[in-house]
Amino acid sequence: MENDVQKQLTSPSKATRENIRGKALTFIIASLIIVLTVAVIGFIAIKGITTFTKDGVNLWDFLTKSNWNPGSIKDGKPEVGAAPMILGSFLVTLLAAVIATPFSLAIGIYMSEYASKKTNKLLRPVLELFTGVPSVVYGFLGLVIIVPMMRTIFGGTGFGILPGAIVLFVMIFPTITSMVVDALTAVPVSYRQAALALGATQWQSIYKIVLRAATPGILTAVIFGMARAFGEALAVQMVIGNSVLMPTSLVSPTATLTSQLTSQIGNTIMGSIQNDALWSLALVLLIMSLFFNLLVKMIARKRKI
């Protein structure tokens, strides 16, 4: 009897046990995310390096040679030169960012400095809507509008880097812009007031004060946009032409990492060199994504100091 009371008083109550269970449950779920992320990185890395370990491809050849023909063997080595795709991915990404950044800055400045509250209330949801437009829709538009346009202007097939970059520009532009707007509105009003009080024109205050103060945020926005562009698969695949050739001009058919992956991985047999080579492309994609992530982190750390 006495023991029972003691037991009841010293053992955890029902609510405590429930709390421990709840904490454990949510912890397990959170740990699942860790397992998942590590698994994604691990599996792709293991699959991606078999080309170099098992099939004996030289890493340097993979990165710099432009003969992509994983099935055939030349001089005792499979022809796995991924340079055209790596170059293609970088070119479309850079070009898209170069087109998108000025426009994003313009809209960002307009929304944070010039526009009335009413206009902003209209523009914000529009940007959000365009962020949400599925990428296949942009790809389809590129295919029926931009590719024929390129064909009439430059001749040839109309497929290539330039249409890819234009499609990506439209796609990443809303993302970059929303983040630029956030960066600009985060600059304290007192900065602007101080500049204006010193007799600066509005443009001087924007150009010399606001833009400089918001530079880390703007850079983060552009890198985010580039990361998205680099990893976008279907929209680019639809307009790039999908032939693994070194791009000779901005409107010659070529391929990107993502376009080659989407169009080929279903056509190869698991474990074959053709398949392994594609997983190596996926690994490059993964590494670049991690690199963009690191860049964003570094900028954020600099901002704190």
| Rounded least distance, CB 123 to other proteins, Å | 8
Cβ(66)–Cβ(83) under 8 Å? yes
Dist CA 174 CA 128 (whole Å) = 7
| Rounded least distance, CB 293 to other proteins, Å | 5
Site for other proteins in 55-94 (CB under 8 A): none
Cβ(81)–Cβ(65) under 8 Å? yes
Dist CA 27 CA 40 (whole Å) = 20
| Rounded least distance, CB 195 to other proteins, Å | 12
Assess 25 for contact with other proteins (CB under 8 A). Answer: yes
Applying CB under 8 A, the site for other proteins has a residue count of: 82
Nearer to other proteins, 249 or 291 (CB): 291
Assess 128 for contact with other proteins (CB under 8 A). Answer: yes
Nearer to other proteins, 28 or 305 (CB): 28
DSSP designation for 156: S
Q: Which of 43, 53, 59, 298 binds other proteins (CB under 8 A)?
A: 43
- What Rg, from alpha-carbon coordinates, does the chain have? 26
Q: Give the residue among 222, 260, 251, 258 at the shortest CA–CA distance from 80.
A: 260
Site for other proteins in 224-283 (CB under 8 A): 227, 230-234, 237-238, 258, 261-263, 265-266, 270, 279, 282
Q: Which of 59, 193, 293, 302 binds other proteins (CB under 8 A)?
A: 293
Dist CA 221 CA 131 (whole Å) = 14
Q: Which of 59, 73, 98, 137 binds other proteins (CB under 8 A)?
A: 137
Assess 39 for contact with other proteins (CB under 8 A). Answer: yes
Q: Which of 80, 95, 170, 221 binds other proteins (CB under 8 A)?
A: 170
Cβ(260)–Cβ(274) under 8 Å? no
User: What sign for the dihedral angle of Cα 260, 265, 266, 267?
Assistant: positive
**224 token code pair:** 């985010």
Site for other proteins in 98-127 (CB under 8 A): 102-103, 106-107, 109-110, 114, 125-126
Who contacts 179 (Cβ-Cβ below 8 Å, separation ≥6)?
217, 220, 221, 224
| Rounded least distance, CB 28 to other proteins, Å | 8
